[in-house]
Amino acid sequence: MSTASNILRNLGYSDEQALRDFAHLQASQKHAELNLEASFFEQKYKMSFSQFEAMLKSRAEENFDNEDDYLAWKFAHDGVKYWKAQLDSLRRTS
């Protein structure tokens, strides 16, 4: 038995509980980071991601700054959904 396992058992955790708690902590952190980034863009443009996406698609000319923000915002937006689903899955199996 490893030192880490001994410490966890002395604290009243099973290896499985500790792993689940660690996964939840890491997923929560990623969700919060990406949510903060998405919120930054919502405040910057004063609109939702879907509104911003529709605005970009309706424009005839390209704006490279907006396109760069779109890619970063899309990554954050998709990441928030992904990590929320992971957290929901962890909660269902706990």
List the chain domain ranges: 24-93
The pair of structure tokens assigned to 39 is 């919120």
pLDDT tens digits for range 37-52: 999 999 999 999 999 9
pTM: 0.85
Q: Is the pLDDT of residue 5 over 90?
A: no
Say how far apart CA 48 and CA 85 lie, in whole Å.
20
Average pLDDT of span 63-73: 97
Q: For residue 59, what pLDDT is reported?
A: 93
Length of the chain: 94
| Amino acid of residue 56 | L
